[in-house]
Amino acid sequence: MKFRSRFFGVLFILALLWTCGGVWYVNGIAARLHNENTQEFESSSQRAAANVGTATGATLFYAIVLCTGIPALLLFGLLSWRNSAGLRREQMHKEQLDALKGSKA
């Protein structure tokens, strides 16, 4: 059970890194593309089309990152917490049994 608790803890940290890193990466890409698009095009219609494309791409990447990251965070966080709670309860049970055995002897 100790292995499972640590395993799910590591998965929780990886899901947290995936979510935060993905949001940070998408923000950086969207800002960079927006800056490049506004300098590259001369007509306002080309600039508007590029901005719509950038916004659409960023929205899709946000959806992918957040729709996979947040459920993974919740799942792995709860599984890690549940396994660590089971470890604590098992330890308390062993201590109670040892105390009962010690008092009878």
Q: What is the pLDDT of residues 46-104, one digit of tens each?
A: 777 777 887 888 889 889 999 999 999 999 999 999 999 988 999 999 999 999 998 87
Longest CA–CA span in the chain (Å) reads: 92
Is the model more confident about 95 or about 105?
A: 95
Neighbours of 54 (CB within 10 A): 19
Assign 3-class secondary structure to 28-80.
Answer: HHHHHHHHHHHHHCCCHHHHHHHHHHHHHHHHHHHHHHHHHHHHHHHHHHHHH
For residues 97 and 80, give the distance between their C-alpha atoms in angstroms, rounded to a whole number: 26
Q: pTM of the entire structure?
A: 0.74
